[in-house]
């Protein structure tokens, strides 16, 4: 048996670290937490300083037994869990289970899993940081207190199976409040007048928009509020000449973005590559723990992924500058390394998210990565490299065009030197048409120059309500308001989606009726729980525990008594909320009662209004784009209760008269037949991509391998509405 035992959290991480330590080290994994509060009771003694009762987690018996066996025969135990409060707490629990003295130097940590970082850590072990442990413990106990006492109240006042949480309830309220703003919004009419012009001497069309009038030699902005005002202006300029009133040229520097934090990574992955926050963190975890690279073994590709910091190590800065110099040239390299500032010192525990091996570019190892891994790794690589590149130099032009006393204005810009944009391009698809026009290239014009009118259009517009949140903008808002922390954004959004408090329509998020009802009840009776300022202040107090400035018991003592008093009061004063039923207009085929739409844990479904006397239910059918390959009718998708909610497709005439028997796990390819056997084609997946394949399992083509360059077409996700139901017999968690 090895003399030294190293305990990490995951088998993938263990495999990666194993490349850098010799045979005298045995590396094993705890597979996450091994102890937690019990699920059957609160597990917190509120009368005795909130003393928690921890138990070994169910299913971890074998892991714990092996850890004890390995530790008993080892001369030295190192606990190498992640370098954050969660990792520190796991290390503390492991030490408790293995009876390791907390004063021993048993803890090692590193920001990246590279040979140098691991070797440096193993030579400089430290004690377990009890402040970090207490910070995690305080959050865990606080969430248990809130969830364990609020959730049963929701069961009795709204319906069984609901839950509430310290962060999730505030996130839901943000979505609900935004929907209220949208509903209350009153659009205002306004009109635009757009002209297309060109210099008379040469054809170089450009567009400008009515801005205002010249009054006593000054330009005053004018808003056209109705058709009458617009028509009067059109009449005034009809047939009149256009000429350049003024040209203002300038230069500006565009600075690169800071390297990624957890929050900005989730936001950009949503905007640029369409990942949900949960998917981003899952793929990022794979990149951090290690990926099997052809010819090299298991290699960790990025630094630690849960961070608020934009700090970068001196070694990484030097490596990035060498790479920029070799790939782009000296003009793309600033005179000195760029350094970015954190909002506060508490955020400086880790580096920003960056590549761990600068010799492994995304392109050089693409064949070893899945499509999702490649896309996220390239995003991290490009963002970090660009953060150390020269500024982009942009020439700007602001142009005023005059017709009588009316001013039409346009702006343009030309990138003179791309700088960091050579590595991290603008995301033009996020821009409105007006913003894209503002970046358009303009002809070289002089004051007083005559212009020729090519086109003139007026258009009626209405002001728009605030935009609904997307995952990216909700995460940005949570971060700006100080609600939650980087590691909580993805699970928070996933939780309120799963619990049917919010739903998604494409990328946008909106509250469900259930979310509105629960939020209203909490806002009326537990103001602090859904108050943004209070929640942000609590996050700050929890952060101060982490750096030893506050006592965790005192923080909980200041919160719990008044909260518990509100729970007792609400139990007797709050009346039961009756959820409004949405009628379908159909009769139950089993008992003849009316069918209604119900909200379940996994979305909407149709049920008999006589439940529980009649237990008839069915999924809501969702129309998908495409046609049945057998009869040419439409297609609908369903979620399978038997196979863990997996989607399948049927003809919309299935079960009707005449009946079509088409049913498939895969969406048919519209209008395409197999050129070998003549069967219809279906969309199959390989490494996250969709490609067409013959549906006939006996077709000779199906004996061939999947194409490496499979199409990005994602037919399975082209649905008009997401509405599913999934049965579950598992017990719902009571807290976040």
- Which of the residues are catalytic? 304
Task: List 392's β-bridge partners, or say none.
Answer: 254
**Rounded Cα gap, residues 30 and 64, in angstroms:** 8
Residues 493/278, Cβ–Cβ less than 8 Å: yes
CB neighbourhood size of 110 (10 A): 20
Task: Give the phi and the psi of residue 230 in degrees, each rounded to 5.
Answer: -65, -45
% helix, strand, coil for the chain, step of 5: 35, 25, 40
**Rounded Cα gap, residues 700 and 696, in angstroms:** 9
Residue with tokens 């479904």: 605
Strands, DSSP E only, in 547-699? 582-587, 594-600, 603-608, 617-618, 622-627, 634-639, 647-651, 663-664, 668-673, 680-686, 689-694
375-408 burial, b if ≥16 CB within 10 A, otherwise e? bbbbbbbbbbbbbbbbbbebebbbbbbbbeebbb
Q: Three-state SS for 514?
A: helix
Instruction: Give the containing element (helix H, strand E) for 170.
Output: helix 168-184
3-state secondary structure 462-493: ECCCCCCCEHHHHHHHHHHCCCCCHHHHHHHH
Residues 340/259, Cβ–Cβ less than 8 Å: yes
CA distance to 12, 244, 398, 431, per residue, from 251 (Å) = 50, 21, 11, 21
**Rounded Cα gap, residues 299 and 119, in angstroms:** 15
Helix ranges (DSSP H) in 634-696: none
**Rounded Cα gap, residues 143 and 131, in angstroms:** 18
Question: Of 479, 515, 486, which is closest to residue 177 (Cα–Cα)?
Answer: 515
Q: DSSP letters of 345-411?
A: GGG-SSPPB-BS-TT--TGGGGGGS-HHHHHHHHHHHHHHHHHTSPPEEEEEEEEEEEETTEEEEEE
Question: Of 210, 206, 211, which is closest to residue 442 (Cα–Cα)?
Answer: 206
Tokens of 106: 């048993």
Cis peptide bond prior to 661, omega within 30° of 0: no
**Rounded Cα gap, residues 642 and 665, in angstroms:** 13
Length reported for the chain: 736
Residue with tokens 């091994």: 34
CA distance to 10, 66, 97, 638, 649, per residue, from 81 (Å) = 9, 17, 15, 42, 44
Residue with tokens 């092996």: 66
Tokens of 713: 């077409």
Q: Both ends of the chain: CA-CA distance in Å?
A: 41
Task: Give the phi and the psi of residue 225 in degrees, each rounded to 5.
Answer: -100, -15
Q: Is 669 left (phi over 0), alpha (psi -120 to 50) or beta?
A: beta
Task: List 689's β-bridge partners, or say none.
Answer: 686
């Amino acid at each position: 048996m090895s003399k030294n035992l190293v305990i990490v959290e995951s088998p993938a991480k263990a495999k990666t670290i194993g490349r850098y330590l010799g045979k005298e080290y045995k590396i094993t994994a705890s597979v996450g937490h091994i102890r937690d509060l019990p699920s059957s009771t609160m597990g917190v003694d509120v009368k005795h300083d909130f003393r928690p009762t921890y138990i070994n987690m169910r299913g971890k018996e074998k892991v714990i037994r092996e850890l004890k066996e390995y530790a008993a025969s080892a001369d030295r135990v190192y606990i190498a869990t992640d370098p954050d409060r969660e990792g520190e707490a796991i290390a503390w629990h492991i030490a408790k289970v293995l009876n390791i003295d907390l004063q021993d130097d048993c803890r090692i940590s590193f920001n990246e899993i590279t040979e140098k970082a691991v070797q440096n850590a193993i030579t400089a072990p430290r004690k377990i940081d009890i402040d970090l442990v207490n910070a995690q413990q305080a959050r865990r106990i606080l969430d248990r207190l809130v969830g364990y006492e609020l959730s049963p109240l929701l069961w009795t006042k709204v319906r069984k199976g609901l839950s509430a949480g310290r962060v999730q309830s505030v996130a839901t309220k943000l979505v609900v409040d935004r929907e209220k703003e949208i509903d209350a919004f009153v659009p205002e009419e306004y009109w635009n007048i757009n002209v297309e012009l060109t210099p008379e001497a040469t054809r170089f069309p450009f567009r400008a928009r009515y801005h205002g009038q010249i009054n006593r030699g000054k330009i005053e902005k004018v808003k056209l509020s109705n058709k009458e005002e617009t028509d009067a202006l059109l009449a005034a300029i009809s047939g009149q000449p256009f000429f350049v009133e003024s040209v203002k040229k300038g230069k500006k520097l565009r600075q690169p973005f800071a390297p990624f934090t957890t929050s900005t990574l989730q936001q950009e992955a949503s905007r640029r590559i369409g990942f949900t926050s949960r998917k981003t963190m899952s793929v990022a975890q794979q990149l951090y723990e290690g990926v099997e690279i052809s010819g090299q073994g298991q290699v960790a590709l990025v630094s630690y992924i849960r961070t608020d910091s934009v700090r970068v190590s001196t070694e990484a800065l030097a490596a990035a500058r060498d790479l920029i110099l070799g790939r782009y040239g000296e003009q793309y390299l600033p005179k000195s390394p760029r350094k970015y500032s954190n909002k506060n010192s508490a955020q400086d525990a880790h580096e920003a998210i960056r590549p761990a091996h600068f010799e492994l570019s995304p392109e050089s190892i693409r064949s070893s990565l899945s499509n999702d891994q490649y896309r996220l790794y390239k995003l991290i690589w490009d963002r970090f490299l660009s953060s150390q590149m020269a500024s982009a130099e942009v020439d700007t032009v602001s142009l005023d065009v005059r017709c009588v006393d009316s001013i039409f204005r346009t702006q343009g810009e030309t990138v003179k030197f791309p700088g960091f944009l050579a590595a991290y391009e603008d995301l033009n698809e996020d821009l409105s048409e007006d913003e894209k026009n503002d970046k358009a290239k303009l002809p070289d014009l002089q004051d007083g120059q005559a212009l020729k009118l090519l086109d003139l259009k007026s258009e009626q517009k209405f002001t728009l309500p605030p935009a609904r949140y997307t995952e990216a903008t909700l995460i940005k808002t949570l971060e700006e308001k100080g609600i939650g922390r980087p590691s909580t954004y993805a699970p928070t959004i996933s939780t309120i989606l799963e619990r049917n408090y919010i739903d998604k329509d494409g990328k946008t998020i909106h509250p469900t009726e259930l979310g509105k009802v629960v939020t209203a009840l909490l806002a009326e009776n537990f103001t602090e729980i859904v108050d943004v300022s209070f929640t942000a202040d609590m996050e700050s107090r929890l952060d101060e525990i982490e750096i030893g400035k506050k006592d965790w018991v005192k923080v909980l003592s200041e919160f719990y008594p008044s909260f518990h008093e509100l729970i007792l009061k609400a139990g007797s004063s709050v009346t039961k909320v009756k959820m409004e039923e949405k009628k379908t207009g159909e009769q139950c085929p089993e008992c003849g009662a009316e069918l209604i739409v119900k909200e379940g844990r996994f979305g909407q479904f149709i049920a008999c209004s006589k439940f529980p006397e009649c237990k008839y239910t069915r999924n809501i059918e969702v129309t998908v784009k495409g046609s049945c390959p057998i009869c040419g009718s439409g297609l609908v998708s369903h979620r399978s209760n038997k196979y863990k909610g997996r989607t399948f497709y049927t003809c919309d005439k299935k079960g009707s008269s005449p009946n079509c028997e088409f049913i498939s796990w895969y969406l048919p390819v519209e209008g395409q037949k197999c050129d070998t056997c003549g069967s219809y084609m279906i969309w199959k997946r390989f490494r996250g991509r969709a490609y067409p394949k013959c549906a006939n399992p006996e077709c000779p083509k199906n004996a061939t391998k999947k194409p490496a360059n499979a199409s990005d077409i994602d037919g399975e996700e082209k649905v008009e509405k997401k509405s599913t139901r999934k049965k579950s017999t598992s017990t719902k968690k009571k807290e976040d």
